[in-house]
Amino acid sequence: MRDRMWASVQAAQDEICAGLAALEGADFEQTSWERPGGGGGRSRLIQDGHVIEKGGVNVSAVHGELGQDAAKAMSARGVDTSDRRFFATGLSLVIHPVNPFAPTVHANYRYFELGAGNAPAAWWFGGGADLTPSYLFEEDAVHFHRVLKELCDRHDPAFHARFKAWCDDYFFVKHRGEARGLGGIFYDDLHDRPAPQLAALAEDGLRSFLPGYLPILERRKGTPYTEAQRIWQRIRRGRYVEFNLVWDRGTHFGLRTDARVESVLMSLPLNAMWVTGHEPESGSPEADIVAILKAPRDWV
Amino acid sequence: MRDRMWASVQAAQDEICAGLAALEGADFEQTSWERPGGGGGRSRLIQDGHVIEKGGVNVSAVHGELGQDAAKAMSARGVDTSDRRFFATGLSLVIHPVNPFAPTVHANYRYFELGAGNAPAAWWFGGGADLTPSYLFEEDAVHFHRVLKELCDRHDPAFHARFKAWCDDYFFVKHRGEARGLGGIFYDDLHDRPAPQLAALAEDGLRSFLPGYLPILERRKGTPYTEAQRIWQRIRRGRYVEFNLVWDRGTHFGLRTDARVESVLMSLPLNAMWVTGHEPESGSPEADIVAILKAPRDWV
**Domain presence at residue A233:** yes
φ and ψ at A94, to 5 degrees? -140, 130
Half-sphere exposure of A270 (CA within 13 A, CB side): 18
Residue A66's pLDDT is 85
**Domain presence at residue B299:** no
**Domain presence at residue B161:** yes
Please tell me the distance from the alpha carbon of residue B92 to that of residue B206, in angstroms, as a whole number. Answer: 10
Closest CA of chain A from B5, distance in Å: 27
Closest CA of chain B from A85, distance in Å: 24
Q: Chain B residue closest to A268 (CA)?
A: B274
| ipTM reported for the complex, 2 dp | 0.95
Which of B174, B245, B273 lies at the smallest CB-CB distance from A246?
B245
- Contacts (Cβ under 8 Å, ≥6 apart) of B140: B103, B131, B133, B216, B219, B220
Question: Which residues of A lie inside 8 Å of B (Cβ-Cβ)?
Answer: 31, 45, 47, 54, 56, 174-176, 234, 238, 241-242, 245-246, 252, 255-256, 261-262, 264-266, 268-277
Residue B37's pLDDT is 85
pLDDT tens digits, A243-288: 999 999 889 888 887 678 988 999 999 999 999 999 999 999 999 9
Confidence band (pLDDT; 50, 70, 90) for A108?
very high
Provide the 10 A C-beta neighbour count for residue B10: 16
- Contacts (Cβ under 8 Å, ≥6 apart) of B284: none
What pTM was computed for the model?
0.96
Residue A73's pLDDT is 78
User: What residues in A contact B246, CB-CB < 8 Å?
Assistant: 245-246, 252, 255
Spatial contact of B167 and B184, defined as CB atoms under 8 Å apart: yes
**Domain presence at residue B290:** yes
pLDDT tens digits, A202-220: 999 999 999 999 999 999 9
| β partners of residue B190 | B125
Average pLDDT over chain A reads: 94
Q: In what order do the strands lie in the sheet with A39-47?
A: A29-34, A39-47, A52-65, A85-97, A104-114, A122-132, A183-190
Interface test mutation site (partner B, options A33, A175, A231, A263, max chain B beta carbons within 10 A)? A175
- Contacts (Cβ under 8 Å, ≥6 apart) of A14: none
Domain with A290, as residue range(s), is 2-294
Is pLDDT above 80 for A137? yes
Closest CA of chain A from B149, distance in Å: 33
Residue A246's pLDDT is 95
Residue B265's pLDDT is 95
User: What residues in B contact A258, CB-CB < 8 Å?
Assistant: none
B12 vs B72 pLDDT, higher one: B12
Residue (of B4, B45, B233, B196) closest to A275 by Cα position:
B45
Residue A153's pLDDT is 98
Instruction: Classify each residue of A33-52 as buried b or exposed e, where b means 16 or more C-beta atoms within 10 Å of its C-beta.
Output: eebeeebebbbbbbbebebb
Burial class of residue A165, CB neighbours in 10 A (0-12, 13-18, 19+): middle
Domain count, chain A: 1
Please tell me the distance from the alpha carbon of residue A81 to that of residue B284, in angstroms, as a whole number. Answer: 47
Is pLDDT above 80 for A157? yes
Active site amino acids of B? 106
Closest CA of chain A from B224, distance in Å: 23
Question: What does the angle CA A93 – CA A135 – CA A144 come to, to the nearest 5 degrees?
Answer: 50
State the CATH number of the domain containing residue B55: 3.40.1500.10
Confidence band (pLDDT; 50, 70, 90) for B71?
confident
Residue (of B97, B158, B170, B176) closest to B128 by Cα position:
B170
pLDDT tens digits, B217-273: 999 999 999 999 999 999 999 999 999 999 998 898 888 877 789 889 999 999 999
Work out the average pLDDT over A87-100.
97
Residue A207's pLDDT is 98
**Domain presence at residue B300:** no
Confidence band (pLDDT; 50, 70, 90) for B1?
very high
**Domain presence at residue A299:** no
**Domain presence at residue A122:** yes
Half-sphere exposure of B174 (CA within 13 A, CB side): 14
Which of A242, A268, A275 lies at the smallest CB-CB distance from B274?
A268
User: What residues in B contact A264, CB-CB < 8 Å?
Assistant: 175
| β partners of residue A273 | B271
**Domain presence at residue A260:** yes
Q: Chain B residue closest to A266 (CA)?
A: B276
The helices-and-strands tally (H runs, E runs) of chain B is 9, 10
Is pLDDT above 80 for B120? no
pLDDT tens digits, B125-174: 999 999 999 999 999 999 999 999 999 999 999 999 999 999 999 999 99
CA dihedral A131, A132, A133, A139 (to 10 degrees): 20
Provide the 10 A C-beta neighbour count for residue B90: 24
Tell me whether residues B45 and A256 touch, CB distance under 8 A.
Answer: no
- Whole-number percent of chain B with pLDDT over 90: 83
Strands B271-273 and A271-273 turn out to be antiparallel
Confidence band (pLDDT; 50, 70, 90) for A81?
confident
Tell me whether residues A277 and B255 touch, CB distance under 8 A.
Answer: no
- Whole-number percent of chain A with pLDDT over 70: 99
